[in-house]
Amino acid sequence: MSEHDEIKTREFTRNEVRMDVVVRASGHPHIQGRSRELSMNGLYVLTCEHLAADTPCHVTLVLSDGKTTIEANAHVACTEPAGMGIAFDEMEPESFQHLRKLVLFNAKDHDLVEHEIENHIGFKTRIR
């Protein structure tokens, strides 16, 4: 599958977002990194340390004010030499709203991202 085809099949647009990230997994030391991309589904963390694919984890994204965080239960979707793809599994409504605002603020196509969020069946049942 080409990169263009992969992008077309994604549920949510990825946005370039740089922020501090902490990944915690049972039995592993905390991993600190920086986000490279962020979407409503997950993020890519730039780090030299890795967890195996499918490892359950807890992710903390630290917003630029240094106080506000987005917290999510997640799992490792993929690992590469540069970092890890992390898929969100569950988060509290407050974190979801922070994530939504952050993704929309950084979107190149605000209307497209708003449409993706508003029309995703899983989100409709949780945020309305």
Separation between Cα atoms, residue 93 and residue 103, nearest integer Å: 15
| Whole-Å CA distances, 74 to 58, 67, 105, 119 | 6, 21, 23, 22
The pLDDT value given to residue 121? 53
The pLDDT value given to residue 3? 41
pLDDT at 71 over 90: yes
pLDDT at 110 over 50: yes
Separation between Cα atoms, residue 123 and residue 26, nearest integer Å: 28
% pLDDT > 70, the chain: 76
pTM of the model: 0.80
Domains along the chain?
3-127 (2.40.10.220)
Instruction: Grade residue 2 by pLDDT with cuts at 50, 70 and 90.
Output: very low
pLDDT at 26 over 90: yes
Least confident of 45-49, 108-112, 117-121: 117-121
At residue 90, the 3 state secondary structure works out as: strand
Residue type, 37: E
